[in-house]
Amino acid sequence: MAHVAVPAVISAATQLMRAARWTDATDLLRAAATDDPADRRALALARAEVAVDQDFAQQTSHAPAALAAASQALENLPDATNSWDLRMLHLRKDYSDRLFGPRDEAGDRTTGAELSGRVVQLRDDAADDSRRGLASFYAGVIADNLLGDHEEAFGHYKDALALGERASDDLLVSLALRHLGDHAHTAGDLQGAREQWERSTELRQQVGHLLGALAQQTLLAVLLKDEGDVAGSRALATEINRWSNQVGLTFISKQTAELMSSDAKG
């Protein structure tokens, strides 16, 4: 039997997850066997992260069982930082369920207020800049997408960007730039949106995050259309659509299909 250190297994699974190969990542983590309680806890948390990520990307329901297993592992061997990570995974899952589930303004505000309170506590409890920045980012998307408070959201994204840069966390930086670029785009600042979206795309490509890169390229296709290059927008959207169909990213497939059929006025 081959012996591989658990951190190396988790690192490999993370790369598979970022490449939109969630089943392979889960299978790898499940195949890892260890007698060390700390390693078992780390593997359980990694499986939960893969499940939460897949549920967001494909609107599946893998996370509840994985989160329960991670909770059990933490009960067996408590740890403050790992407990924070699990709380963040629960928040990400609850946000995803609201974002992609049935929407109504009253329900969004009720859920948003509850999630906002949780994310403030997560930010206060964070052990480092990366975690604090991730909490700030989620405070931003909750304010933006559930509470409709775009000014507050903008401030959270700026905080997330500063913390991500300080921590050299490229994925966090890319998340903040994506949403700051969206605010620039909404304000009519197409050049500012392009600068932020292109940098976000490049960072996601650097870390091998396929979903993130395709989502960013979709925004660049939108920007091309806004700039008057409808043919360029269609061409880029067609390539993104092929990728997203291959890995089951339905919401990106839908967005790009709309761009592929759009005209200069649409």
C-alpha 213/C-alpha 137 separation (Å) is 18
- Amino acid 264: pLDDT: 47
pLDDT digit string (tens) for 73-99?
A: 999 999 999 999 999 999 999 999 999
- Amino acid 262: pLDDT: 78
Q: Is the pLDDT of residue 8 over 60?
A: yes
- Amino acid 183: pLDDT: 98
pLDDT digit string (tens) for 49-65?
A: 999 999 999 999 999 99
C-alpha 47/C-alpha 17 separation (Å) is 10
Tokens found for residue 4 = 């591989």
Q: Is the pLDDT of residue 72 over 90?
A: yes
Q: Is the pLDDT of residue 238 over 80?
A: yes
pLDDT digit string (tens) for 180-231?
A: 999 999 999 999 999 999 999 999 999 999 999 999 999 999 999 999 999 9
Q: Is the pLDDT of residue 4 over 90?
A: no
Name, in order, each residue with C-beta under 8 angstroms of 160's C-beta and a sequence gap of 6 or more: 133, 134, 136, 137, 140, 172, 175, 176
Q: Is the pLDDT of residue 2 over 70?
A: no
Q: To the nearest whole number, what is the mean pLDDT of the chain?
A: 96
pLDDT digit string (tens) for 110-149?
A: 999 999 999 999 999 999 999 999 999 999 999 999 999 9
* Percent of the chain scoring above 90 in pLDDT: 97
**Sorting pLDDT into bands at 50, 70 and 90, what band is 24?**
very high
Mean pLDDT of 256-265: 81
**Sorting pLDDT into bands at 50, 70 and 90, what band is 265?**
very low
Global pTM value: 0.95
Give 44-47 contacts, CB < 8 A, sequence gap 24+.
44/69, 44/70, 44/72, 44/73, 45/70, 45/73, 45/82, 45/85, 45/86, 45/89, 46/10, 46/13, 46/14
